[in-house]
Structure 1
Amino acid sequence: MASQSKDIPLYRDSTKTADERVYDLLSRMTLAEKAGQMFHGMILMGPDGTLAGPNPGFGIEGTHELLTEKLMTHFNIVGPITDPAVTAKWYNTLQEHAIKSTRLGIPITISTDPRNHFTDNVGTSFNASSMSQWPETLGFAALRDAKLVERFADIARQEYVAMGIRVALHPQIDLATEYRWSRINATFGEHAELSGELAQAYIRGFQGKEIGPTSVSTMTKHFPGGGAQLDGEDPHFVYGQEQVYPGNQIELHLKPFEMALEAGTRQIMPGCGMPIGTEWEEVGFGLNKDVITDLLRGRLGFDGLVCTDWGVLTDVTLLGQFMPARAWGCEHLSQLEKAKKVLDAGCDQFGGDTLPELVIKLVESGQIHETRLDQSVFRTLKEKFLLGLFDNPFVDLNSVGVVGCEEWKKEGQLAQRRAYTLLKNDDDILPLRHSDVDGKKVYIEGIDASVAKARGLTVTDSFEDADIALLRLKCPYDPKSGGFEAFFHSGSLEFGSDDRTRISTILGKVPTTIVDVYLDRPAVLTEIAPRASALAVSYGSSDDGFLDIIFGANGVAPEGKLPFDLPRSMEAVVKSRSDVPFDTENPLFRYGDGLSYTRRTAE
């Protein structure tokens, strides 16, 4: 297409349709410029909002090199956001550099992993820091409230947009059917229909009625559903590459994704896992034509952007741990051959990799036709046009004050409290009355003593002379040796022998024991539940949140229902089928269990 005038290229003309602008821009692009659009790398902020240099520890190249030499324009911002104003300043500096220092001035698209939750896994998400903080997505599943999910997503959207973040590398809508899996905390639980319903609300909140200049595009993951990992190990690691379907429940795991597609999710991320024992080729999903082209694009009709999970091409060392490229089933292939297989599978972007030279070489050697690149680059560029990045790439530094505003923080804190799930409450001991604790000695675990004392509790260091015990526990797991994998809590769901002995002794010695267990996975609580005076489970909350709940302070009470079964034993978990929901024998508590307070507040 010809330019509208000698001075202004058509792709800069906001009166033209997005398709017209993309076709014009594509016609002007070199092979190298196209290849750069097909890599979605990682980026860091420099000090005080400056552009960062190389960071070998994270394996991240300098910003200038990524923009001007590799001609990349899609980046996942890593690290905490402690000052939104500094982040917004950095974003504007980044955009200005990209626009002024490259031939076509293609604006940057910034993405992020989840940032608005109470989380322990900084390997897959970040603490909320200065932003509004909500429960993990499991907490939303416990509340079964689609309107609340949409409200959360709308608030997170506004916080993202204020700082220049325009792509959410979420929601994660895998089904929590393999209880040992380390990524369950970021799911909507075990029920396919509920997961799909909440995913639709999530997508509506981030994207709006239609994608536009105030939207955040959602990259829904991990297609075709990553919850059926063999033994619950994570596919980022060599020992977790196999995904299995002993119960033949592939269609059930697809259900939430079908519903997400109905809601209009703009992007999809296939998982790292490799299907075993199915009709699909036994290679990682990002390299799997059966899954991407035949299933996702063919049968399900998805024509949006598909970005691989991180690192299908590159070996990396993270936090001192070597991790080979996550191209399971294709380890024997060269980097060039892996790149070709990803493109042949039907993916548009390589997540976490920064190797556009491979795509250039594939075209120049005749292994991939440049028109194949045009298909993918069309999708990446159209997203930028629809998000309004070409017309207004900068953020208003005066608007960043909305991030973490008090109203939104209060909404997030209330949601954390409401999501609590009460499983036992002998003699309606909860909520505690002030008379229940006056003059009583309280033993605490997992609670900041200063927070407890601020509530007027008399804290004792010994449970031997305590009248009341307040225990905040975390779901057990098998610790890994270190490095990046240490952030992934997998393995046993039973407390170890030392912990069992300590907890059992406390439960036996202290007259009144109130236990809260943070569930990032479905813990085995068989030895705790019968002996605790009250048992609650939570999905991410502060010590103040816990104390509000047990005292019924500020009118709050637990409203959550279990988003999965709680197994009776690890033996039952091991015997269950990884892809089948509600498959452990005789569970201790069932999906949907959850009590209410018979009296709402303390005296």
Structure 2
Amino acid sequence: MQEMTSVRFPYQDQTLDPRRRAQDLVSRMTLEDKAGTMFQSIVSVGPVDKPEPLFGLPSLASLVINHRITYLYVVGDAADARGFVQWANAAQSLALGSGLGIPITFSTDPRHGFVENPAASSTSSMFSQWPEAIGLAALRSEELVERFADVMRQEYVSVGLRSALHPQIDVATEPRWARAGATFGEDATLTAKLGAAYIRGLQGDRLGPDSVIAMAKHFPGGGPQKDGEDPHFTYGKEQVYPGGQFRYHLEPFIAAIEAGVGQMMPYYGMPVGTEYDEVGFAFNKAIVTSLLREQLGFDGVVCTDFGLLTDADILGAPMPARAWGLENTTRHDRIVRLLEAGVDQFGGELCTEELVTVVRNGRVDEDRLDTSVERLLAHKFELGLFDRPLIDEDAAVAVAGNAEFRALGDKAQREAMTLLTNAGTLPLGGDLKVYAENLDVSREQSWTPVETPEQAEVAILRIKAPFEPRGPGFELFFHAGSLAFDDETMARLTGICRAVPTVVVISLDRAAVLGELVDSAAAIVADYGASDQAVLDVLTGRTRPLGKLPFDLPSSMAAVEASREDTPFDTEDPAFRFGHGLRYS
């Protein structure tokens, strides 16, 4: 691992305070250097000199050398930890050999779960695999969440990932919202406690060479989306507060600030019917400066959510810039508005020359850039990136995805599962003829897989929570719309339940309306991201499910539609309450 030994300027002196080092470095930077620092662009793991095909961006080499980008958001995976480190070190060497030698901060969305979404999370073969955040919430343990985040920290640091664009501490008060599975559920108090534990696990007591800096999102809380639609898309840009619960959604962010979170990301949504301007939160000075910085005392980095300045084509579908309320303004106008609001960095963007032009045209003072660049560079110094920029391949192989970490994740997958109903069918034991869907039961040696329910002694149906597919392209990754099964699907599922005692295992990436399944199924188990083996271990009783519901499960879509988007536990007469979870006798 390379260490900086030559000291020519104060910013190279490891004995100085990180903020002092940052100030010295800023004084030596050109306007183009500063502009590059204020953009976080997207790269995928691959040849550093090849264009990025998925998002239509230039090569990593071009980003670093020509655009002076030193914050890179990483999508995709490598074959193993060694391959990832070789790629990261090659990129880092490019940065160290160009300009002022400012090292790259590699960032990522969550990589330890089961959900693959180019805008929100990735699966990774390098790391241990855990339930989604909503599953950690089902276990209600601050100690477990902090332990998980500490494992994640060690695995990230081992391969050179030093910035986590998480935790997502929105409160999921709108059951239809597609992002609920990445939250800690519907209760703000629980979310605040678990979010703070998550931040402590990533950052430690203070940022240092072994830390991963956390970016809490999405300030001031992205849960109360109108009709549950997501503001990645034009039909979901409105965020509403019919129950007057704006403060409720702030609680986790207050706890995050108290825990020392280093960075914040405002959401895309525009508040409707509040005291605030009806423009996206990142453009809102009353939100970013008055509320976040002045009232709540946050002095860290504020990075916008991705794509507020330029239109893009993602996975074959056009994606307009999500500058809600300011759709008809120019890029220059948006840059000025964001800087006036108080943000420090533009997420998922590359138009550095536009920022340079805005400054040279006199619309923004260069001193304003200095304020943000100092914050951003101070974090690089605190993380030790200037002093130890390269990664040890052998150490990465030893740490990332090691047996201990994988065992901890596997255990959490199992214990997070929630037993919703049980007519005495679970746990399953003995020799059984089993009909199964979406679950490999062949690994159970005492079971005989059969082809039809009629041949079986028990059926196991592993299903996903209902959603209405959207599209094309990018939208398909967001499970939105109705929480109820369509008539055809429900008829098929209940028909199997009538034919044979049936265990339903449902993956809850958001709430679901279970309807007739509640009375038809012999047992219903919820999982929040689990392997087939984890499911089988719970169904057979080798592991007991310990999870409790992290949100209400509504009794009907009519109840959901009548509820208030910002208000927790607001659906009438839910089928299962927050905290419900049976145990094996």
Partner of residue 594, structure 1: 581
Partner of residue 469, structure 2: 479
Aligned length: 580
Partner of residue 558, structure 1: 545
Secondary structure of the residue aligned to 1:484 is helix
CA contact (8 A) 1:421 1:595 kept: yes
CA contact (8 A) 2:288 2:341 kept: yes
1:517 and 1:44 map into 2 onto residues whose CA distance is 32
1:529 and 1:134 map into 2 onto residues whose CA distance is 28
Counterpart pick for 1:188 among 168, 184, 200: 184
Counterpart pick for 2:519 among 530, 547, 552: 530
1:15 and 1:120 map into 2 onto residues whose CA distance is 42
CA contact (8 A) 1:473 1:517 kept: yes
2:232 and 2:28 map into 1 onto residues whose CA distance is 38
Superposition deviation, residue 351 in structure 1: 0.2
2:119 and 2:61 map into 1 onto residues whose CA distance is 26
Question: 1:502 is matched by which residue type in structure 2?
Answer: R
Which runs of at least 4 in structure 1 moved beyond 2 Å after TM superposition? 120-123, 451-456
1:7 and 1:597 map into 2 onto residues whose CA distance is 64
1:136-215 equivalences in 2 (<5 Å): 136-215=132-211
Question: 2:456 is matched by which residue type in structure 1?
Answer: A
Partner of residue 270, structure 1: 266
Partner of residue 601, structure 1: none
1:264-303 equivalences in 2 (<5 Å): 264-303=260-299
1:392 and 1:183 map into 2 onto residues whose CA distance is 36
1:128 and 1:527 map into 2 onto residues whose CA distance is 37
Whether 1:415 and 2:402 are equivalent positions in the alignment is: no
Secondary structure of the residue aligned to 1:118 is strand
Deviations 1:409-449 (A, max 9, x none): 0110110000011111113x321221xxx2x421111213x
Superposition deviation, residue 17 in structure 1: 1.2
Deviations 1:527-570 (A, max 9, x none): 101121111111010111111001112xx100000000000001
Cα distance change, pair 508–122 in 1 and its aligned pair in 2 (3 A): farther
1:295-334 equivalences in 2 (<5 Å): 295-334=291-330
Deviations 1:207-263 (A, max 9, x none): 011100000000000000000111111111111111111101000000001001110
Secondary structure of the residue aligned to 1:514 is strand
Whether 1:519 and 2:508 are equivalent positions in the alignment is: yes
CA contact (8 A) 1:57 1:319 kept: yes
Counterpart pick for 1:585 among 560, 572, 584: 572
Deviations 1:13-61 (A, max 9, x none): 1111112211111111111111111001111222xxx414112432221
CA contact (8 A) 2:221 2:249 kept: yes
Whether 1:92 and 2:84 are equivalent positions in the alignment is: no
CA contact (8 A) 2:195 2:256 kept: yes
Whether 1:442 and 2:434 are equivalent positions in the alignment is: yes
Counterpart pick for 1:548 among 530, 537, 545: 537
Counterpart pick for 2:374 among 357, 374, 378: 378
CA contact (8 A) 2:426 2:584 kept: yes
Partner of residue 83, structure 1: 80
- With normalisation by structure 2, the TM-score equals 0.97
Counterpart pick for 1:469 among 459, 467, 484: 459
1:7 and 1:212 map into 2 onto residues whose CA distance is 20
- With normalisation by structure 1, the TM-score equals 0.95
Secondary structure of the residue aligned to 1:8 is coil
Q: List gaps (5 residues or longer) in structure 1.
A: 599-603
Partner of residue 385, structure 2: 389
Cα distance change, pair 455–124 in 1 and its aligned pair in 2 (3 A): farther
Counterpart pick for 2:340 among 339, 344, 348: 344
Secondary structure of the residue aligned to 2:115 is coil
Partner of residue 490, structure 2: 500
Deviations 1:477-526 (A, max 9, x none): 0001320110000001111111111001011111x211111000110012
Same amino acid, percent of matched pairs: 51
Cα distance change, pair 294–595 in 1 and its aligned pair in 2 (3 A): same
Question: 2:568 is matched by which residue type in structure 1?
Answer: P
1:123 and 1:327 map into 2 onto residues whose CA distance is 17
Whether 1:490 and 2:452 are equivalent positions in the alignment is: no
Superposition deviation, residue 79 in structure 1: 1.1
CA contact (8 A) 1:453 1:459 kept: no
1:324 and 1:478 map into 2 onto residues whose CA distance is 22
Whether 1:118 and 2:81 are equivalent positions in the alignment is: no
